[in-house]
Amino acid sequence: MSPRDSADSALENLVSKFAGSNAAYYTRQFSYLSEAPGFRVSFNWMAAIASPVWFGARGLWSWFLMFLLVETFAYIQIFRGLLGNLGQDQLERAEAISRTLATRMEQIAAARESGASSLEALERAAESLQRAYDGALAAAEAASGDAAMLIVVGLVLLLVAKLAAAITANWALETRFTRWRSDPSLASGLSMNRTLAALAIFLCVAGLSAVRFARPDIVPLLLDFPTDKNFRIATADWIKDGFDWAKRSGADFFNAITLGVRSLLDGLEIVFVGTPWPVIMIFVGMLAWLTGGSRVAIFTIAALAYLGILGFWEKAMTTISLLGAAAMVSITLGIPLGILCARRPKLFAVIRPILDFMQSMPSFVYLIPVIAFFGAGKPAAIVATLIFGSPPVVRLTVLGLQQVPATVREAALAFGATPAYLLFKVDLPLAARTIMAGVNQTILMSLAMVVVASLIGAKGLGEDVLEALQFASEGQGILAGLAILFCALILDRIVAGKPQK
Q: Is 274 helix (H, G, I), strand (E, B) or coil?
A: coil
Closest CA to 133 of 85, 103, 100: 100
pLDDT for 72 equals: 92
pLDDT for 91 equals: 64
Does residue 200 sit in the same domain as residue 105? no
* Burial group, residue 362, by CB count within 10 angstroms (0-12, 13-18, 19+): exposed
Does residue 411 form part of some domain?
yes
Closest CA to 458 of 366, 362, 380, 370: 380
The half-sphere exposure of 492 on its side-chain side, counting CA atoms within 13 A, is: 14
pLDDT for 86 equals: 60
Give the count of domains, the chain: 3
141 vs 139: CA distance, rounded Å? 5
Does residue 10 sit in the same domain as residue 63? yes
CA distances from 498 to 93, 265, 298 (A): 67, 30, 14
Closest CA to 42 of 168, 177, 174: 168
- Residue-range definition of the domain harbouring residue 99: 88-145
Q: Which helix (H) or strand (E) holds 458?
A: none
Q: Which helix (H) or strand (E) holds 382?
A: helix 378-389
pLDDT for 156 equals: 92
Does residue 399 sit in the same domain as residue 446? yes
Q: pTM of the prediction?
A: 0.66
Does residue 11 sit in the same domain as residue 99? no
242 vs 77: CA distance, rounded Å? 50
Among the three residues 128, 145, 162, which one is the final residue of a domain in this structure?
Answer: 145
Residue pair 27/21 in contact (Cβ under 8 Å)? The answer is no
Residue pair 169/55 in contact (Cβ under 8 Å)? The answer is yes
Q: Give 34's contacts (C-beta < 8 A, 6+ positions apart).
A: 7, 8, 11
pLDDT for 137 equals: 65
Residue pair 47/166 in contact (Cβ under 8 Å)? The answer is yes
pLDDT for 406 equals: 86
Does residue 172 sit in the same domain as residue 133? no
Does residue 239 form part of some domain?
no
pLDDT for 172 equals: 87
Among the three residues 107, 129, 145, which one is the final residue of a domain in this structure?
Answer: 145
* Average pLDDT per 10 consecutive residues for the chain, totaling 501 residues: 58 76 76 62 86 90 92 88 67 74 77 71 76 71 68 90 91 85 83 91 90 76 77 85 83 82 80 82 87 85 88 84 82 90 90 86 77 79 83 91 88 84 87 87 79 74 77 80 82 69 49
The CA radius of gyration of the chain, in Å to the nearest whole number, is 35
Does residue 234 form part of some domain?
no
Does residue 267 sit in the same domain as residue 407? yes
C-alpha distance across the termini of the chain, in Å: 60
Four-residue CA torsion sign, 284, 289, 294, 299 = negative
